[in-house]
Amino acid sequence: AVLGLATAGIAAEDIVIADFEADNYGDWEVTGTAFGPGPARGTLPRQMVVTGYVGERLVNSYYDGDGSVGTLTSPPFTIERKYITFYVGGGAFAGRTCVNLLVDGRIVRTQTGQNSRPGGSERLVRHVWDVSGMIDKVARIQIVDQLKGPWGHITADHFVQSDERTGGTLRKEFAVDKRYLNLPVQNGAPKRRMRMVVGGQVVREFEIELAERLPDFWVFLDLTPFAGRKATIEVEGLLPGSHGLSQIQQADEILGSENLYREALRPQFHFTSRRGWNNDSNGLVFHNGLWHLYYQHNPYGVQWGNMHWGHAVSEDLMHWRELPIAIYPNRFDDWVFSGSAVVDVNNTSGFGKAGAPAIVAAYTSTGRGECVAHSNDGGMTFTDFEGNPVVRHAGRDPKVIWYGPGRHWVMALYDEEGGKRGIAFYTSRDLKAWEFASRIEGFFECPEIFELAVEGTGERRWVLHAADGDYLTGSFDGRVFTPDGGSGAAKQRFSHGNCFYASQTYNNVPAEDGRRVQIAWGRVEIPEMPFNQMMLFPVELALRRSGAGVRMCARPVREIERLWGQSGAWKEVEVSPGDNPIGAVQGELLHIRATLRPAGAAKCGFVVRGTEVAYDPAADKLTCLDKSASLSPVDGAIRLELLVDRTSIEIFANDGEVYMPMGIIPPANNKATRVLAQGGPVKIDTLEIHHLKSVWP
């Protein structure tokens, strides 16, 4: 049923002082260079993602980064309403990064941004000044950036005079009698702050681009925990006559899901969320026969924001079943950032029971610090530890592992202590009380640490890396990581593609399996869909010794063979320029494995749906689009393996010595595949091409 609505009374029409939707500042006075030539279209270069502003533009003094200063001052206006409402973000430094209300040249009200230490958030927050005692006074608004250095900038937007503190909040009470609350989204619409109140408590609160008319798509809020209860939906910033709230509907289905998983750009064998945005893989853990994939998730829009832990499970790493959100924010603006999960087999935390160990998640709370939460229902729901936060520091993204020789837990954390980027290690006996152990510099975000055998030897090495995947090998004693080659050792490149970021590997994989399985965020913008971004295909990691030292390799997990459909094979075929023995192969989902021997070719490889994957034997280089990697033949041949989906081509060369995941959206009408032989022939020692079946129901 469509919800009815009730509006808060509005005494007089609001007066917009400035909405900053033009491409210049108009009559506002500008000093310095910080504010640029005009309002910004959101996030500026090298800035964290800016959210919480209204419309398409805002004031943003990050124009030249945090090294510039300036002021922006409005023309005089008469105060005619009880309140002035506005949005502000950025630095929290009184008098230096702030918004001032000036009357008779004096500051009578002031408001800073929210951030004063590394990390933080570029979200603008709504504020209200009570100016009821200043009616008929002439005033000016002054936006100030007089600080250089970290958080030396201010963001501001949408200054309005109003007789309502809430700025036109619409609300509706309803009885929860369906599974989902379907919410209409229009991309680019003003972001509205929405909350759901049950039993007098705010149980959900987030920002959403609420559609006023025909939505681009629908997102949903799971009502299961509130079945049979009375609830109230509130939306800030809506004006009388708004259709935004009236379109919200309860239903037992997700509206618009008739073609779920069959959308034109839905990857068919990579995980994507049903609706909304995903980024980092989180909490990868194997438990009771299931591979759990938690992930950074905005359930209410297709851009970054509103961070929750989404959740999906699989029995085979191929076929994923999305489950309800696992960890919700503690409150608005205290988001659930990245982290990890472990199975506390020995019940060191006391969270579990005999024969039923708890899954314990460690995550960054943006409002509190590093937190832990436990699950006693197989990872479906989590309860926060009452002693949170367990670590306070400048940083985020805890990766927790069990260090067997010391019989203790290790937490690797991205750390910005002293303004330097690195990984800090903490230790604990019980997952609750943590002690600092050591720190290593030169890493940014999403740390990962694990041990691997070196193939074909009796050696083992520890691997340490952060979000970009570039890694060090070395030794680890449970407290200190010592790189091979000493403190000056250079990191090695892992991913040579254009979309790899923020990977994680699985904890608690059974010994009889023994693999180190990794899933990374595939940073691929997927346009005009009700979802955005993807996970890269699961890979098995290995260490191999080469002439250059120990190197990490990646291969698709063997379960890919479960998706094979129609297949073809070729052997001992010489291909001259212009020939194409695989011309009959047409498809958008492919697994290609080949051993190629340049036999005079200046370039060889494949062209898949218009995208060239080419090896240059003279340069010993493998290239796809603008990415390339060194590749040397083995016994005169190279081995290529390609996974082709609707929005990506993942390239593996010489059994994973080169890993090049590429985010690519090929032309919809081009499903052709051909062998590339340029400047001379190439010999195909072996070639197999498998059409792949979709993993979705």
Q: Evaluate the CA torsion angle 650, 653, 657, 660 in order and state its sign.
A: negative
Catalytic residue numbers, as ranges? 280
Q: State in Å, rounded, how far the first CA of the chain is from the last one.
A: 28
User: What whole-number distance in Å separates Cα of residue 577 and Cα of residue 351?
Assistant: 65
Give the whole-angstrom CA distance, residue 420 versus residue 113: 23
- Rounded Cα distance, 506 and 515, in Å: 9
What is residue 532's predicted lDDT score, i.e. its pLDDT?
98
CA distances for 178 relative to 127, 160, 389, angstroms: 35, 38, 36
Distance separating alpha carbons of residues 660 and 90, to the nearest angstrom: 37
Distance separating alpha carbons of residues 499 and 648, to the nearest angstrom: 9
| Domains of the chain with CATH codes | 15-162 (2.60.120), 169-257 (2.60.120), 260-556 (2.115.10.20), 559-692 (2.60.120.560)
Q: Which of 297, 290, 11 is nearest to 164 (CA)?
A: 11
Show the tokens assigned to 108. Answer: 């009578």
8-state DSSP, 74: P
Task: State the Cα angle at 203 between 200 and 206, rounded to 5°.
Answer: 125
Cis peptide before 405 (omega within 30 of 0): no
Burial of 688 (0-12, 13-18, 19+ CB in 10 A): middle
Phi, psi of 332 (to 5 degrees): -60, 135
Q: Give the whole-angstrom CA distance, residue 615 versus residue 633.
A: 10
Classify residue 58 by burial, with Cβ atoms within 10 Å: 0-12, 13-18, 19+: buried
At 166 the pLDDT is 63
What is the per-residue pLDDT for 419?
A: 87
- Give pLDDT, residue 230: 97
DSSP character at residue 44: P
Q: For residue 649, give both structure tokens.
A: 């081509």
Residue 502: left if φ>0, alpha if ψ -120 to 50, beta else—which one?
A: left
Which CB contacts under 8 angstroms, 24+ apart, belong to 353-356?
Answer: none
The per-residue pLDDT for 168 is: 60
pLDDT score recorded for residue 487: 86
Structure tokens of 339?
């982290």
Tokens of residue 238, six digits: 């809506």
Q: Find, among 563, 619, 570, 618, the residue nearest to 596 by Cα.
A: 570
Report pLDDT for 54: 86
Got the DSSP string for 604-621? EEEEETTEEEEEETTTTE
Residues 338, 446 contacting (CB under 8 angstroms): yes
C-alpha angle with apex 504: 499 to 507, nearest 5 degrees? 160
- What does pLDDT average to in each consecutive run of 10 residues of the chain (697 residues)? 41 88 96 97 93 91 95 98 94 96 96 86 89 96 96 96 76 95 92 93 95 95 98 83 88 97 98 98 98 98 96 98 98 95 98 94 96 98 98 96 98 94 98 98 97 96 98 98 93 98 98 97 98 98 93 98 98 96 96 96 97 98 98 97 98 98 96 97 98 97
Residue 628 and residue 620 in contact, taking contact as beta carbons nearer than 8 Å: no
The predicted pLDDT at position 167 comes to 56
Report how far apart, in Å, the C-alpha atoms of 171 and of each of 161, 176, 220, 237, 503 are. 21, 15, 18, 11, 41
pLDDT attached to residue 236? 83
Residue 341 CA to residue 324 CA, distance in Å, equals: 17
Distance CA 647, CA 5 (A): 41
CA distance 344 to 358: 6
Structure tokens at 585: 């192969």
Sequence-distant (6+) residues with CB within 8 A of 306 are: 206, 207, 298, 299, 300, 329, 335
Three-state DSSP class for residue 510: coil
CA distance 589 to 580: 19
In angstroms, what CA-CA distances link 392 with 369, 384, 413, 424? 5, 16, 11, 12
CA dist., res. 412 & res. 270, Å (int): 28
Q: Which pLDDT score, from 0 to 100, does residue 2 have?
A: 43
Concatenated DSSP letters of 190-254: PEEEEEEEETTEEEEEEEEEB-SSS-SEEEEEE-GGGTTSEEEEEETTPPTT--TGGG-EEESS-
d(C-alpha 367, C-alpha 510), whole Å: 36
